[in-house]
Amino acid sequence: MRVTVFGTGYVGLVTGTCLAEVGNQVVCVDIDAAKVEGLNRGVIPIYEPGLEDMVLANHGAGRIAFTTDATSAIAHGEIIFIAVGTPPDEDGSADLQYVLAVARTIGQNLGKRAVIVNKSTVPVGTADKVRATVAAELAKRGADVPFEVVSNPEFLKEGDAVKDCMRPDRIVVGSSSPSALEAMKRLYAPFNRNHERIVAMDVRSAELTKYAANAMLATKISFMNEMANIAERVGADIEMVRHGIGSDPRIGYSFIYPGAGYGGSCFPKDVQALERTARQHGYHAQILEAVEAVNDRQKHKLFELIARHFRGELRGRTFAVWGLAFKPNTDDMREASSRTLLAQLWEAGAQVRAHDPEASEEAQRIFGERADLVLCDSAASALKGADALVVVTEWKKFLNPDFDQLKAALKHPVVFDGRNIYEPAEVEAAGLAYYGIGRGRTIAAKE
């Protein structure tokens, strides 16, 4: 099929590439000329496992093209995806200006029947706004072109985006038009083998499904972080508790890892936006509010442990920080817990030597040159001259360090484990002090 994708960010680029991979003719449009020019030269603006090879192969085979020319791109597509950003505006609501600007452009240019697909995470009711915007532009130029607007939220995880896109566990399609649903089914047929993955529903339910999924996952995390904080106080180990509850299939093991808080481009923004949507409809979403509050507090957790250990004397100390990205396998630092930690350490007069396998460039871009930050190109070099080690992101390469070497490298042999990736007993056996999240048993034993 002929597919157009507006937006070459995370969602747009991955979606367009995967659709090209299964044989569609895809044109991706972006207003950022430098980005488009880069993509045409094979420069992939984001780090995502498997994406670069797939873009290059499909670009080489002529199945995917990148352009800034919206007019020709609209003429190309029988299915037109809107996958542009919806950043939070000042009050936390999703800012729809980019989505609606694309809708206007489509309305100004559409010359033949098309299905317009909302892929961006947008508040309930946005598809109706897109429909009205396109219709208004068509009316302005007296054009009578049939079109449908469909909601097809994405559920990609950064770091697994290509896999999630190629092998989705569900494909939510919100549509009031049987012909648009048919077109979507044809488009997704290659991803829909063996068992039915398409969940067809009305547009508003599809729009809410996306927020409900992310809010549920964020709730699981904040719930576990709350349990961890209780565990710590009553002398229990949240890791034991996690196993104990996860074995109940109604609860399950996934997404119940306590830690230094969730970050990324989705959970913080979507929980907030859903809360605002509820408020706009006269409902006070208390759970969502609590999920957000618990997470904000949790992002301060590592600093609290550090400050307590060093009795508030942090000025002039140096901390090795392993992991800056909001999670492993990405260079994304949006809303990352590391940012809260670094800001607090700096505020307290400490120095940071940080290592992240992928996010150094991003850190450089965010923080610029500063005397109290050294970005190191290896985990070992981050330890040089450091008082203590703080693990913020659970990259694979951090999972099995040589604790004897760690002890030798650190001035104060202490490890702050923000993701509970180490066995306290093993760390302590090497003569290092250990702090995790909610591991009251070990803290109690030390006191």
256 forms part of the interface with ligand UDX (CB under 6 A)? yes
Instruction: Indicate whether 157 belongs to the interface with ligand UDX (CB under 6 A).
Output: yes
223 counts as binding ligand UDX under rule CB under 6 A: no
Q: Does 221 bind ligand UDX (CB under 6 A)?
A: yes
Is 397 annotated as contributing to ligand binding?
no
Site residues (CB under 6 A) for ligand UDX, limited to 55-114: none
* Selected catalytic residue, list 18, 28, 165, 266: 266
- The answer to the question of whether 256 is labelled as a binding residue is yes
Q: Which one, of 209, 416, 193, lies nearest residue 309 by Cα?
A: 416
Task: CB nearer to ligand UDX: give 147 or 262.
Answer: 262
> Binding residue per annotation — 446?
no
Least CB distance from residue 396 to ligand UDX, whole Å?
Answer: 14
Task: Kindly indicate which of the ranges 186-194, 213-221, 301-309, 396-404 contains the residues binding ligand UDX, using the contact rule CB under 6 A.
Answer: 213-221
For the bound state, the minimum distance from the C-beta of residue 424 to ligand UDX, rounded and expressed in Å, comes to 19
The residue nearest ligand UDX at its CB is: 266
Identify which range of 214-222, 363-371, 422-430, 433-441 contacts ligand UDX by CB under 6 A. 214-222
Is residue 273 involved in binding ligand UDX (CB under 6 A)?
A: no
Query: In the 3-class helix/strand/coil scheme, how is the chain assigned residue by residue?
Result: CEEEEECCCHHHHHHHHHHHHCCCEEEEECCCHHHHHHHHCCCCCCCCCCHHHHHHHHHHCCCEEEECCHHHHHHHCCEEEECCCCCECCCCCECCHHHHHHHHHHHHHCCCCEEEEECCCCCCCHHHHHHHHHHHHHHHCCCCCCEEEEECCCCCCCCCHHHHHHCCCCEEEECCCHHHHHHHHHHHHHHCCCCCCEEEECHHHHHHHHHHHHHHHHHHHHHHHHHHHHHHHHCCEHHHHHHHHHCCCCCCCCCCCCCCCCCCCCHHHHHHHHHHHHHHCCCCCHHHHHHHHHHHHHCCHHHHHHHHHCCCCCCCCEEEEECCCCCCCCCCCCCCHHHHHHHHHHHCCCEEEEECCCCHHHHHHHHCCCCCEEECCCHHHHHCCCCEEEECCCCHHHCCCCHHHHHHHCCCCEEEECCCCCCHHHHHHCCCEEECCCEHHHHHHHC
360 φ, ψ (degrees, to nearest 5): -60, -45
Question: Which of 9, 107, 168, 259 is the binder for ligand UDX (CB under 6 A)?
Answer: 259
CA atoms in the 13 A half-sphere facing the CB of 328: 11
Tell me the window of 31-39, 62-70, 78-86, 154-162 that interacts with ligand UDX (CB under 6 A). Answer: 154-162
Q: Say whether residue 327 binds ligand UDX (CB under 6 A).
A: yes
What angle is formed at CA 111 by the lines to CA 110 and CA 113, rounded to 5 degrees?
Answer: 85
Q: Does 341 bind ligand UDX (CB under 6 A)?
A: no
| Contact set for ligand UDX, span 159-188 (CB under 6 A) | none
Query: Residue 269, interface with ligand UDX (CB under 6 A)?
Result: no
**One of 12, 168, 174, 263 touching ligand UDX (CB under 6 A):** 263
d(CA 346, CA 342) in angstroms, rounded, equals: 6
323 binds ligand UDX, rule: CB under 6 A: no
Q: Is residue 266 at the binding interface for ligand UDX, with CB under 6 A as the rule?
A: yes
Decide: is 238 part of the binding site for ligand UDX (CB under 6 A). Answer: no
| Amino acid in position 160 | D
Number of chain residues interacting with ligand UDX (CB under 6 A): 19
Residue with Cβ nearer ligand UDX (221 or 227) = 221
* Piece of the chain touching ligand UDX by CB under 6 A; list 29-37, 149-157, 169-177, 349-357: 149-157
Q: Which stretch binds ligand UDX (CB under 6 A): 55-63, 188-196, 230-238, 258-266?
A: 258-266
CA atoms 261, 267, 271, 276: torsion sign: positive
Half-sphere exposure of 138 (CA within 13 A, CB side): 19
**376 is known as an active-site residue:** no
Please select the residue that binds ligand UDX; options are 326, 398, 422, 434, rule is CB under 6 A: 326
Annotated binding-site residue? 77: no
Minimum Å distance from CB 46 to ligand UDX?
12
Piece of 262-270, 301-309, 366-374, 378-386 that binds ligand UDX (CB under 6 A): 262-270
Q: How far is the CB of 285 from ligand UDX (least distance, A)?
A: 19
In angstroms, the CA 446 to CA 308 distance is: 13
Q: Output the known binding site for substrate.
A: 155-158, 210, 255-259, 263, 327
Q: Which residues bind ligand UDX (CB under 6 A)?
A: 154-158, 214, 217, 221, 255-257, 259, 262-264, 266-267, 326-327
Active site residues: 266
Residues at the binding site for NAD(+) are 30, 35, 86, 121, 158, 269, 334
